[in-house]
Amino acid sequence: MGTSVQVTPLSGVYGENPLCYLVAIDGFNLLMDCGWNDLFDPSLLQPLSRVAKSIDAVLISHPDILHLGALPYARKHFGLSAPVYATEPVYRLGLLTMYDHYLSRRQISDFDMFTLDDIDAAFQNVIRLKYSQNYHLSENGEGIVIAPHVAGHLLGGTIWKITKDGEDVVYAVDFNHRKERHLNGTVLESFVRPAVLITDAYNALNNQVYKRQRDQEFIDAILRVLRADGTVLLPVDTAGRVLELILILEQYWAQQHLSFPIFFLTNVASSTVEYVKSFLEWMSDSIAKSFEHTRDNAFLLKYVTLIINKSDLENYAGVPKVVLTSMASLEVGFSHDIFVELATDAKNIVLFTERGQFGTLARMLQVDPPPKAVKVTMSKRVPLVGDELKAYEEEQEKIKKEEAVKKASIVKVEEVRATSSHLSESTKGDSMVIDPASATASPKGSSHFRGQMDILIDGFTPPSTSVAPTFPFFENTAEWDDFGEVINPDDYVIQEEDSNHMVVNGKSLDVKPDEASVHLLLDSTPSKVVSHELTVQVKCALLYMDFEGRSDGRSVKSIISHVAPLKLVLVHGSAEATEHLKMHCAKHVCPHVYAPQIEETIDVTSDLCAYKVQLSEKLMSNVLFRKMVENEISWMDSVAEKTNEKVLTLLPPPSALPTHKSVLVGDLKLADFKQYLSTKGVQVEFAGGALKCGEHITVRKISDSSQKGGTGPQQIVIEGPLCEDYYKIRGHLYSQFYLL
């Protein structure tokens, strides 16, 4: 009867692999997150590749690799073309995160899983939503409403509520109920009784220390090292939890007037903070409030220096300092190199603020006891010299020649293209998400265009539907002014060799302040990657503190039991944690708890029956509602009548129906009742879990195991000898309920 809902995990169950789940609602396929890991292991995406084409919409919940890393790759290789929905910060910070990963990878390897263009293309069709915006899907998804809600954890982090026909499917992973410096806590608890809740078991077995205590320990650990002339390395993500750390440090440095330098080093550091400054409306109330009153933007950083180039650190070689740098996994990026430099000195500390991803260097270092030495690969991109350069140039020459031949074959089309500035203009706009105004990108745009032409000419097959197949024709939409046709000088710039292509890409990318960092990488001079392995003696201190910003096990359990879904699906968490949470929830929350395996489709269609009726005015005029919290409630007896084909109308019954079993509605809290009784002048105290009222009367609540979140009514027992008090207390007890 209800809406059909199927959940199929594609990755990230019984383990810490990236998150990616397929949720089908009445045949409409929603992909919840599209994550990858820091190692970019394509084998993880196998299940996704099989279904990517059938996906109708992608919903992204957090701006990090684990939640959106595979978007560019899946779009390029699996044909994932569905629109992507995300909040503005998830879109923006996610994009920056992808850039940072790409640039870091590219610096040390011939990374070719995806290019910057692929990233841009993947993020181009992101539809950006606001928190609690009810977005009505169209076409196949008619009737489905999706709405992002605050998740905590990361800026813009989302729990998704998908509604169809009044039934809610809630996808909530990596939420945080605690309010932090820059984020509000999640609103998950305000959802009550969704049909399906999909959540993670990641933290089911973890419990956290108090926030204040943890912050103090964090600062103490850092200061100890700084005062001993050491350097603190904080491997962080590009644009996620690092924001919270920056605020903690800023705040403490301001309070204590410290002068130790703090650096935030990623390939996109300055862009990140620049954008974060404009995301105030997505942050915590206190940040918004301080801005409203004093117009001080919390991310107008006074103590943290943003750098995008590791060489900027060289001036501070011997100085005690704090360095926040990506990636958190220590696999690639600046953190990798800096770790190698710092590890050998016992003065220094590497302070992990999140658990490393499985199989990464960070994870290896987080084991207890930490390893004495680790093997790392140091890679570097160096310009080609001597023979290699020669060989490379010959290679390029060959490619060029081939291109020339190709070009000649399409010279006709070329002409069309040169004049149809309008068309190339539009292509240009498409290929650049961020900076359509940058004119430097136009050669790239047109080359992209030419690529399309190639395909059209080479393998031209008339579409089966066309009556008279013709070659593609492009209308000449040239503009004319007093001097003749308006031309775009860029169209006449001679295409440079392929390696230059990279530069262009780099510029189209809108990380202008950070361009210096990519300078070597995107340099036109041919380069290669040299790497050597070395063993690093880990002498520096290693410390892990939980700044992940996820709700801990205890809170997760209490939140789930408060939300009390009708059906619960558990994903993302070690096998142990998943089992643990599954057992817990099956016992205390609801009987339908599922923890599917990868590619195992489970049907969580609610077995709920429902039909709609019209309430006639006559009936409603006889109904007296009683108000209870947010609801109004009443007993109703009626007779159904089919007024026409579809509508069923309820009319008042013609004669009195047999009396129904009376219902007591209300939620009795013994503590509240105690207070109530004492205001009524009854001597009352708790004794052994029961409420002792007056001399002899006891009121107890019998909690059977199924009661919490279960469907049974509350069982309350009042007992005592026959006396006046008994009836008095009973009267008070009755007053706590509505009798219907």
Partner 1 sequence: MASVVTGAQNKRPNPNSTSAAATREGDQLIITPLGAGNEVGRSCVYMSYKGKTVLFDCGIHPAYSGVAALPYFDEIDPSTIDVLLITHFHLDHAASLPYFLEKTNFRGRVFMTHSTKAIYRLLLSDYVKVSKVSVEDMLYDENDIVRSMDKIEVIDFHQTLEVNGIRFWCYTAGHVLGAAMFMVDIAGVRVLYTGDYSREEDRHLRAAEVPQFTPDICIIESTYGVQLHQPRPVREKRFTDVIHSTISQGGRVLIPAFALGRAQELLLILDEYWENHPELHNIPIYYASPLAKRCMAVYQTYINAMNDRIRTQFANSNPFDFKHISPLKSIENFDDVGPSVVMASPSGLQSGLSRQLFDKWCADKKNACVIPGYVVEGTLAKTIINEPKEVTLMNGLVAPLNMQVHYISFSAHADCAQTCGFLKELMPPHIVLVHGEANEMGRLKQKLVSQFADSNTKLYTPKNCQSVTMHFSSEKMAKVIGKLAEKVPETGESVSGLLVKKGFTYQIMAPDDLRVFSQLSTANVTQRITVPYTGAFEVIKYRLKQIYESVESPPVEETEVPTLIVHERVTIRHESDTYVVMQWSADPISDMVSDSVVAMILNIGREGPKVTPIEEKTQEEMERMARKVVHSLMVSLFGDAKFGEDGRLVITVDADVARLDIKSGEVECENQGLRERIKTAFGRMQGAIRPIPKP
The interface with partner 1 within residues 117-146 (CB under 8 A) comprises: 129-134, 136
Contacts of 300 (CB under 8 A, 6+ apart): 277
User: Which residue, 161 or 321, has its beta carbon nearer to partner 1?
Assistant: 161
User: Which 44-63 positions form the footprint of partner 1 (CB under 8 A)?
Assistant: none
> Please, which residue, 493 or 620, has the CB nearer to partner 1?
620
Of the candidate residues 367, 666, 671, 678, the single one contacting partner 1 (CB under 8 A): 666
Residues 6+ apart with CB under 8 A from 66: 12, 18, 19, 35, 36, 37, 357
SS3 712: coil
Q: Which is nearer to partner 1, 408 or 722 (CB)?
A: 722
Residues 6+ apart with CB under 8 A from 201: 556, 570, 571, 572, 573, 574, 577, 578, 580, 581, 582, 595
To partner 1, the closest distance from the beta carbon of 732 in angstroms equals 12
User: SS3 for 39?
Assistant: coil
Cis status of the peptide bond prior to 369, with omega within 30 of 0:
yes
> Residue 34 in 3-state DSSP?
coil
Minimum distance from CB of 492 to partner 1 (Å)? Answer: 26
425/435 with CB nearer partner 1: 435
**Rounded (10°) CA dihedral 72, 74, 78, 84:** -90
Rounded to a whole number of angstroms, the minimum distance from the CB of residue 485 to partner 1 is: 23
Element (DSSP H or E) covering residue 529: strand 527-537
Candidates 462, 625, 703, 704: give the one binding partner 1 (CB under 8 A): 625
| 695 binds partner 1 per the rule CB under 8 A | no
Q: Return the residue of 234, 332, 542, 733 that touches partner 1, per CB under 8 A.
A: 733
Q: What is the CA radius of gyration of the chain?
A: 32
Q: x-or-dash pattern for partner 1, window 427-446, by CB under 8 A?
A: -------xxxx---------
- Residue 226's alpha-carbon distances to 232, 303, 326, 353, 602, in angstroms, are 7, 15, 21, 18, 53
Burial pattern 689-720, b for ≥16 Cβ within 10 A else e, equals ebbbbbeebbbbbeeeeeeebeeeeeebebeb
Q: Which residues contact 665 (CB under 8 A, 6 or more apart)?
A: 628, 633, 737, 738, 739, 740
Residues 545-584 binding partner 1 (CB under 8 A) are 566
Among candidates 510, 231, 425, which has minimal Cα distance to 344?
231
Return the SS3 of 738: strand
Give CA–CA dist 329/590, Å, rounded.
37
Interface positions, 707-726, toward partner 1 (CB under 8 A): 710-722, 726
Q: What is the DSSP string of 377-400?
A: EEEEEEE--HHHHHHHHHHHHHHH
Q: Determine, following the binding rule CB under 8 A, whether residue 687 of this chain makes contact with partner 1.
A: no
**Secondary structure letter of residue 356 according to DSSP:** P
Task: Please state the closest distance from residue 408 (CB atom) to partner 1, in A.
Answer: 38
**Residue 620 interacting with partner 1 (CB under 8 A):** yes
C-alpha neighbours within 13 Å on the C-beta side of residue 508: 25
Q: How big is the site for partner 1, counted in residues (CB under 8 A)? A: 96
Q: Which of 205, 665, 682, 690 binds partner 1 (CB under 8 A)?
A: 665
CB of 700 to partner 1, least distance (A): 9
* Residue among 609, 644, 687, 724 that touches partner 1 (CB under 8 A): 609
Out of 460, 474, 686, 734, name the contact with partner 1 by CB under 8 A: 734
Q: Which residues of 218-236 are buried (b: 16+ CB within 10 A; e: fewer)?
A: bbebbbebbeeebbbbbbb
- Stretch near partner 1 under the rule CB under 8 A, chosen from 98-106, 109-117, 399-407, 646-654: 646-654
Q: Cβ of residue 157: shortest distance to partner 1, in angstroms?
A: 15
CA distances from 59 to 91, 187, 720 (A): 11, 18, 58
**Does the footprint of partner 1 cover residue 635 (CB under 8 A)?**
yes
When asked if residue 247 is in the footprint of partner 1 (CB under 8 A), the reply is no
- Give residues 72-91 in contact with partner 1 (rule: CB under 8 A): 88
Contact of 88 with 282, CB cutoff 8 Å: yes
Q: Does 669 bind partner 1 (CB under 8 A)?
A: no
Chosen residue from 315, 621, 644, 679 binding partner 1 by CB under 8 A: 621
Interaction of residue 166 with partner 1, rule CB under 8 A: yes
In angstroms, give the least distance from the CB of 281 to partner 1.
4
Select 103 or 236, whichever has its Cβ closest to partner 1. 103
Peptide bond into 327 cis (omega under 30): yes
Q: Which amino acid is at 461?
A: T
**Quick one: which of 193, 227, 422, 669 contacts partner 1 (CB under 8 A)?**
193
Region from 362-370, 387-395, 451-459, 618-626 binding partner 1, contact rule CB under 8 A: 618-626
> 194 vs 549, which CB is nearer to partner 1?
194
Check binding of 740 to partner 1 (CB under 8 A). yes
Cβ atoms of 86 and 116 within 8 Å: the answer is no
Q: Which stretch binds partner 1 (CB under 8 A): 51-59, 463-471, 617-625, 672-680?
A: 617-625
The residue (of 96 and 323) whose beta carbon lies closer to partner 1 is 96
**DSSP strand pairing (527-537 vs 373-383):** antiparallel
Q: Which helix (H) or strand (E) holds 162?
A: strand 158-164
User: To the nearest whole angstrom, how small is the minimum distance from the Cβ of residue 5 to partner 1?
Assistant: 16
The two three-digit tokens of residue 136, written as one number:
């009505």
Nearer to partner 1, 372 or 642 (CB): 642
**Is 634 a residue that touches partner 1 (CB under 8 A)?**
yes
What residues contact 587, with CB distance under 8 A and at least 6 apart? 705
739 is a site residue for partner 1 (CB under 8 A): yes
- Comparing CB distances to partner 1, the nearer of 55 and 566 is 566
| 706 makes contact with partner 1 (CB under 8 A) | no
For residues 257 and 660, which CB has a smaller minimum distance to partner 1 in the complex? 660
What are 643's two structure tokens?
């007024």
Residues between 255 and 314 with contacts to partner 1, criterion CB under 8 A:
271, 274, 277-281, 288, 291-293, 295, 297
In the complex, the smallest distance separating the C-beta of residue 511 from partner 1, rounded to whole angstroms, is 9
CA pair distance 537, 542, nearest whole angstrom: 13
What mask of x and - would describe binding to partner 1 in positions 486 to 525, judged by CB under 8 A? ------------------------x-x-------------
**Least distance to partner 1 from the beta carbon of 705, Å?**
15
628 binds partner 1 (CB under 8 A): yes
Q: Does 464 bind partner 1 (CB under 8 A)?
A: no
Q: Which helix (H) or strand (E) holds 169?
A: strand 167-172
Amino acid at 548: E
What does the per-residue mask of binding to partner 1 show for 399-428, with x meaning CB under 8 A?
------------------------------
Query: Nearer Cβ to partner 1, position 120 or 548?
Result: 120
User: Does 610 interact with partner 1 (rule: CB under 8 A)?
Assistant: yes
For partner 1, the closer CB: 193 or 412:
193
Q: Quick one: which of 426, 477, 614, 683 contacts partner 1 (CB under 8 A)?
A: 614
- Complex with partner 1: residue 400 or 618, whichever CB lies closer: 618
Quote the DSSP letter at residue 490. Answer: G
Residue 59 or 650 having the CB closest to partner 1:
650
